[in-house]
Amino acid sequence: MCANKKTPEEKRKEKVIKILREEFENRLENKSDKNYELPDNVLPVEEISTEEAYDRISQLARKLYDLVMKTGRISLDVPLRSSSNIIYDELNDLLLLGEKVNTKVFHSLTSVEDITRLIRVMEIVHELLKKRMHGTKREIYYSDVNLFKSQSNSDNCIEDLSTVLHTIRNSTNVVASAKGTAIGRLRIKDQNDIIDLESMGSGGWSITPFLDNVEIVESDAEFILVVEKDAALIRLSEAKWWRDYPCIIFSGKGAADVATRMFLRRVNKVLKLPTFCLVDSDPYGHYIYSVYLRGSKRLSYESPFLATNDMNLLGVLTRDLDQYKVPKECRIPMNKTDIKRCKEMLEEDFIKSNKPWHDDLNLMLKKKEKAEIQALSSRGFEYLTDEYLPTKIETQDWI
């Protein structure tokens, strides 16, 4: 009988998995199969095929040609991507782009240069779509350095073109270098290759920007864990943490790139798993979580395709610093930039509507101290994997 007696660690693992399965069942019942309609006052954006993207850009080129032949001048309505045109959709819990437009015309040297850059990007994207090739944002910049002058100019034109075509950037076959990593209990197919994310070594699978080639094959994970930094991923990877607590672990290695956010959303949507985020206890960590959750203002038109809007903030919460006895010498005083960012976040509608989140940021502002995930290692190198994360899930202590 003693041989069959379960250890405290085994009992904890069973309890954690039970809680996660209840979360999964609640998710299935309450949210996963609902198809929300976007508000009428936002820009409609679709994920479209290469053929459809090619047709749309060809039609746009013909429209501009006809306009030049008729009037001798060119103009183009481009959706306005400034803060004044960002809409918070409370029903879908997303940041979205509104319908306001900025008309680009030939009437000054600056505007001529601006619309010429946009037309040049149209030409490049048209060629990529025609040849069924992908191009990186960096390659597009280097295709006409003298015209673009800086990559920020070509990047802006790429995003403007996507909004004009009412599609996401990936549908234009333009990709950005990806830096994110995934590891754990998931098998995918990348073109003809089956990849087991448990067998990718300690570094995990580097998320590809060519996500149109990737299919999800199978998973026996109970949840998804997103960690802000590579250091936390290394600790979890070395411990093979997904074996004891069946999960898929993502890291954007700081502010996540588009490919990481898009792949995370796809895994979350297909597998319908509870999803948690672990970030530093500072305003920037909370901001990173908000981008995963609701999208960014800069790419608000893509939010429905990038945001994982049922993700919970697991930690490191401000209240955790005292609750888990993080030593004072491991906490860092907030500087003026931190305080400013924290105040700005407290004014966001989506944070005001989430009282626990608002309260935690208020506490951070009051204490004026921050800490990295690695501060937990002051309690021991295994503290994150053996105590902090299991306890947080076991007690359902998340936002």
As annotated, the active-site residues are 142
Exposed, middle or buried by CB within 10 Å (0-12, 13-18, 19+), for 4?
exposed
What sign does the CA torsion over 141, 147, 148, 154 have?
negative
Q: How many other C-beta atoms lie within 10 A of the C-beta of residue 116? A: 16
Q: Which residues of 71-99 are buried (b: 16+ CB within 10 A; e: fewer)?
A: eeebebebbbbeeebbbebeebbbbbbbe
Q: How far apart are CA 151 and CA 157, in angstroms?
A: 10
Task: Quote the CA–CA distance of 273 and 31 in Å, as a whole number.
Answer: 11
How far from 76 is each of 71, 179, 210, CA to CA, in Å?
Answer: 13, 34, 30
CA distance linking residue 19 with residue 100, whole number of Å:
45
Give the pair of three-digit tokens for residue 380. 């021991």
Contacts for 180 with CB less than 8 Å, ≥ 6 apart = 206, 207, 250, 251, 252, 253, 256, 257, 259, 260, 263
Beta carbons within 10 angstroms of residue 346's beta carbon:
16
Size of the chain, expressed as the number of residues it contains: 399
Distance CA 308, CA 266 (A): 9
250, 278 Cβ separation under 8 angstroms: no
Residues 318 and 357 sit within 8 Å (Cβ to Cβ): no
